[in-house]
Structure 1
Amino acid sequence: MKQDSELRNNLKSMRTRLGMSQQELANLAKVTRQTISGVESGQYAPSVAIALRLAKVLGCQVADLFWFEEDLLEIEAVLAKSISCSQQQPVSLARIGGQWIAYPLVGKDAFRLEMIPADGKINSLSNANTVRVRLLDDIDKLHNTVVIVGCAPVLSLWAQATERWYPQLRVQHNFANSMAALHSLCKGEAHIAGMHLYDPETGEHNTPFVRELLAERAAVLITLGVWEEGILVESGNPMGIKTVTDLVEAKAMIVNRELGAGTRLLLEHKLQEEKLPFHAVKGFDHIVKSHQEVAEAVVSGIAKAGISTASIAASFGLGFVPLHSSRYDLVILKEYLEEAPVKQLLGTLGNRLIHSQLEVLGGYDTSKTGDVVATI
């Protein structure tokens, strides 16, 4: 094999969507792992025999795996996030509300557990927020993409399980806190927003925030699950923390979430209930941006406590002090409900496997999973 500078491939994308390692694919195709690595990186062009073997193992045509640069289509897409460098920037793509949306794969947005394969690369800038994207994958596959925005780690689990049942369906999970997810939905950057915001004035979850932000747009709220939110503490709770007042009295260092996060609102609400100023809590302005980062801060000793969920505490072997049962809802604009990819994804909420996966995490009540709890 030798390098061909014009040959492109999406071997890594096909392999990772099927949950295969490089070694597993190599074994099935009867080649070395180094061969798979070389082909994926573009360092080597495979022989006809190897290309046929790879296509057979992956259940596709050779043309689905390999193509020449000059044969790539270009589309116009709206950037979901402004970036400083546009030329040749890799992006993932989805069709939402009649237009293509490009999500720059930059920094943490380029990773889940490993780097995310790109769907295309920016070829030119049309104006401040519109770009020309040269595709790296079949446009028909990109049409079959559902975009979910939210902070719950279980969204990724749900996405992966669904893709196993529907191999042609792509579920893209973009990370954002509850309020940011709702804004993404409003701006046409997502099909579904996941959120867990509690309004103490009405005693309602999520619905007041959706009504206020969506204004005249029609939407439905479907429950993914009810989870326990509370204080993550060191294993065994050596400081004896039971309330947010205890955090203040013990001068325990915490980490907090950013504005718009449901757990930050919960902490603020509990402090107001106990008539404590926000900054009475040491570390109130020490911000981290995910449930996992809260747990990691406590595990590493950077903080003694933080607000997150029972399932996160269990995953990291931490102590947990429950404060509130919060409903995690999926917000979907009605105009998207009849789209085939969205229907396929939402249809899996009744599957027992999804319920089992939520239950095994701990701290989730699945009795209302899949229920439509509000229509806006």
Structure 2
Amino acid sequence: MLENTALTPQEVAEMLKVAKNTVYELIKRGELNGYKVGKKIRVDLKDVENYKNKTKNNKTIQSIPIKNDSLPSTNIFSQQDSGNVNNFIICGQDVLLDILSRYIELYSPNIRTFRSYVGSYNGLLALYLGKIQVATAHLWDGDSGQYNIPFVRRLVPGIPTIIIHLACRMQGFYVAKGNPKKIQGWEDLKRHDINIINREKGCGTRILLDEHLRLLNIDGKSIKGYNKECFSHLAVASTVARGGANLALGNEKTSLQVKNIDFIPLQKERYELVIKKEDLDKSPFKTIISILRSDEFKSELLGIGGYDLTETGNIIAEL
């Protein structure tokens, strides 16, 4: 069964957005169940999900700081921290944000940058509640065909905001190598011989899928595997590669990291940063814009691949 899928420590690290050594430490402390297969450590997918559920706090959005294992373990979403410009919290899941965080601390060493790996929907909600300084979004509205602007208006009401472009990425289907099911596009989700692995509610990829299902008048519950969720592009791609599903939705960059899958491009998405307008002239935010527009930052992303940086650093909208 899918929940018994065995993961390597590296795959677990990718899912939790932490270093591989942190995974070993969690297993050593008994916080995450692991077992040996010969000399190799393996962790069942269900145990990773159980670990995440145990560490969730229903009152706040959780985050995993990755910059330094010695960072304080206190709740970084406390109201006191959110008002302290030296504790800077960025929501989002793309590695681009890890690189941005490193640049911020390089050019503004007095600022401690924290990363929270939550989806676009919850990130905008946290911005509205004043618990973070920067949200990111790749939320597609099927009625208007627009990215992010309609959702920012609805989820951050009454607060003037600025949307700054980060990058464009290609979203599409992960399928088994050779595409044995001959999957071509969204219409294939109507087929009864297809089973999928889904992303978690609130992330931009899940909302993209649900919007297309709505427009095609497809009930998600009619799709095999619709209610089975993973928390990263890598996790769903790995599931398809191991035969746990015929199809998953994710970005092209991740498909290049996983063996035995093909990528079917479907839609270019806009990945963008959202801040409060009142913060635009404050030092950390000006630093972010300068970094995004710098050749050094763009060159590093070009080296990784998978990003269209044509508009990076441009202010897209003032709402």
Distance 2:227 2:68 in 1: 30
Q: Check if 1:182 corresponds to 2:134.
A: no
Distance 1:350 1:130 in 2: 31
In structure 2, the residue matched to 1:361 is: 304
Post-superposition offset of 1:110: 4.2
Q: Check if 1:325 corresponds to 2:278.
A: no
Q: Any unmatched runs of 5+ in structure 1?
A: 1-20, 22-80, 85-101, 123-128, 134-141
In structure 1, the residue matched to 2:199 is: 257
Post-superposition offset of 1:166: 4.1
Q: Check if 1:116 corresponds to 2:86.
A: no
State the aligned residue count.
Answer: 262
Distance 1:267 1:313 in 2: 18
Distance 1:300 1:247 in 2: 20
Post-superposition offset of 1:237: 2.6
Post-superposition offset of 1:200: 1.6
Q: Normalising to structure 1: TM-score of the pair?
A: 0.62
Q: Check if 1:374 corresponds to 2:317.
A: yes
Distance 1:160 1:250 in 2: 46
Post-superposition offset of 1:121: 4.9
Q: Deviations over 1:218-245 (max 9, x none)?
A: 1100000111111112233333221133
RMSD (CA atoms): 3.1
In structure 1, the residue matched to 2:160 is: 218
Post-superposition offset of 1:315: 2.5
Secondary structure of 1:360 counterpart: helix
**Higher normalized strand content (fraction of residues):** 1
Preserved CA contact (<8 Å) 1:314 1:362: no
Post-superposition offset of 1:321: 1.0
In structure 1, the residue matched to 2:137 is: 195
Q: Structure 1 pair 119/343, CA: closer, same or farther in 2 (3 Å)?
A: farther
Distance 1:130 1:309 in 2: 32
Q: Which residue identity does 2:138 align to in structure 1?
A: H
Q: Structure 1 pair 110/116, CA: closer, same or farther in 2 (3 Å)?
A: farther
Q: Check if 1:345 corresponds to 2:288.
A: yes
Secondary structure of 2:299 counterpart: helix
Q: Structure 1 pair 244/111, CA: closer, same or farther in 2 (3 Å)?
A: same
Q: Normalising to structure 2: TM-score of the pair?
A: 0.72
Distance 2:79 2:221 in 1: 44
Q: Deviations over 1:337-361 (max 9, x none)?
A: 2222222223200112322333333
Post-superposition offset of 1:132: 10
Q: Which has the higher contact order (CA 8 A, sep 6+)?
A: 2
Percent of aligned positions with the same letter in both sequences?
A: 29
Q: Structure 1 pair 167/299, CA: closer, same or farther in 2 (3 Å)?
A: farther
Secondary structure of 1:315 counterpart: coil
Q: Which residue identity does 1:251 align to in structure 2?
A: D
Distance 1:329 1:278 in 2: 27
Distance 1:103 1:243 in 2: 34
In structure 2, the residue matched to 1:230 is: 172
In structure 2, the residue matched to 1:305 is: 247
Preserved CA contact (<8 Å) 2:142 2:215: no
Secondary structure of 2:202 counterpart: coil
Post-superposition offset of 1:183: 0.4
In structure 1, the residue matched to 2:208 is: 266
Post-superposition offset of 1:364: 1.7
In structure 1, the residue matched to 2:24 is: none
Q: Structure 1 pair 300/353, CA: closer, same or farther in 2 (3 Å)?
A: farther
In structure 2, the residue matched to 1:25 is: none
Distance 2:61 2:199 in 1: 24
Distance 1:210 1:257 in 2: 21
Compare CA radii of gyration and give the structure with the larger one.
1
